[in-house]
Amino acid sequence: MRALSRRGMLGLGAGAAAAVSLAGCGGLTGSDDSGHADGSGGDSVQGGSKPKPGPTARPIGDGSTSHTGKQPHQPAAPRPLEPGQTPPQFVVFSWDGAGEVGNGLFPRFLDLAKEHGASMTFFLSGLYLLPESKKRLYNPPNNPRGASDIGYLTDDHVKATLKNVRRAWLEGHEIGTHFNGHFCGESHGSVKNWTPAQWRSEIDQAKSFVKQWRTNTGWTDLPSLPFDYDKELVGGRTPCLLGQDNLLPTARELGWRYDASSPGGLQVWPRKRQGIWDLPLQQIPFPGRGFEVLSMDYNMLANQSLNSTKAPAHNYPGWRKQSAQAYIQGFKRAYETNRAPLFIGNHFEQWNGGIYMDAVEEAFRHIAREKEKGADVRLVSFRQFTDWLDVQKPEVLDKLRTLGVGQQPAGGWREFTGKADAPGAGPSGNAA
């Protein structure tokens, strides 16, 4: 698993005082097409038969991607909240890297999402579709040509990644970007130090590796990806949650709708930064500890085993339970109070015996059961959540933002959202 052995895992995110909060990265399998996506609007899910792109697919460029029509298994169009209505509880599960190295994690979670009619976001690292033999096609800002702090995949793993990304989109999931070389830390080459122009170069290259994998690999016997990546790509997450300030001007120029790179967010309703929805990882309860932890598997690992990915196994049962309960308590806190969306970040990794994958699945099933018991819970992608935000009345969103972490609306939701006024809030809820 070369993609794992050479992966740079350290990267500071923000956490509560005294917490070790880090943001690692990764991505790592293949299956069939079909599935459903949960509703970001409020109506029932649009199901349907297996897509048949064959004669309707129109190749784009070298045929690495193609036009296949509207994405299958999307929810009905979202609607604005009505006066007195309780907001849905949105939950976004997202995956950094989204590559396949033979550990079966990509299809495991595609199967899980399909079982519960959910959508997720997969932040694809562009290098995961570039063969190592062609690595000099990558010219990373402030780093040597072909350099990368994550490993290049084997040819078989590139093929498996293509298969899973194709399946994911056809089942209603979003394909975002995790950029390319994953350069973190404090060095000159770190993404922390990139200019807006250098971010533009990195994004252009990430897109090109997706849009030209057929040329770069020479493989002509594999099906194209069933989407136009220029239109599909509307958001991403930076390596180690670094560099957002200089990324945002470029993201706005490219027409991106959101960014999920901000560290240290709170469980409150989001706002825009520089015209882009800022959808951060969030501080959530960390059972048994006196601080909160960022809502990502690697940040839990960093606090439990101090960055070791192979700690003594006797710790695993307790750590797995603690991690699952962190997600579950974060969900419960939001659902029972301000209904702020919950954003969860993960990696297709077997760190510490795979306990974080098990914890994420346990939390996902817990949340899905609440939805299936009748709770207004939406398991959606970032793009679908952004669709919902964009149709809401600005004054309603402004008022939702007045609710702090764990704060219930005074007088209940009927009274709280029944009033359109939002004293002291700006007309758009934007920050500079």
- The full set of domains in the chain, from first to last, is 2-42+64-431 (3.20.20.370)
Token pair for 348: 């297709």
The Cα 377–Cα 382 span in angstroms is 15
Q: What is the pTM of this model?
A: 0.88
Q: Mind listing the pLDDT tens digit for each residue in 186-221?
A: 999 999 999 999 999 999 999 999 999 999 999 999
The pLDDT of residue 264 is: 82
Question: Parallel, antiparallel, or unpaired: how do β-strands 377-380 and 342-347 relate?
Answer: unpaired
The pLDDT of residue 263 is: 85
The pLDDT of residue 421 is: 53
Vertex 256 angle, CA 239 and 405, to 5°: 70
Can you spell out the DSSP letters for 119-174? Answer: --EEEE-GGGGS-GGGGGG---TTS-TT--SSPPPPHHHHHHHHHHHHHHHHTT-E
The pLDDT of residue 257 is: 98
The pLDDT of residue 45 is: 34
Q: Which amino acid is at 424?
A: G
Q: pLDDT truncated to tens, each residue of the chain (432 aa)?
A: 333 322 333 233 333 333 444 555 543 322 333 333 333 333 333 333 444 444 479 999 999 999 999 999 999 999 999 999 999 999 999 999 999 999 999 999 999 999 999 999 999 999 999 999 999 999 999 999 999 999 999 999 999 999 999 999 999 999 999 999 999 999 999 999 999 999 999 999 999 999 999 999 999 999 999 999 999 999 999 999 999 999 999 999 999 999 999 988 999 999 999 999 999 999 999 999 999 999 999 999 999 999 899 999 999 999 999 999 999 999 999 999 999 999 999 999 999 999 999 999 999 999 999 999 999 999 999 999 999 999 999 999 999 999 999 999 999 999 999 965 544 433 344 443
> Which of 342, 175, 179, 295 has its CA nearest to residue 246?
179
The pLDDT of residue 419 is: 67
Q: Answer for the pair 233, 207: CB distance below 8 angstroms, yes or no.
A: yes
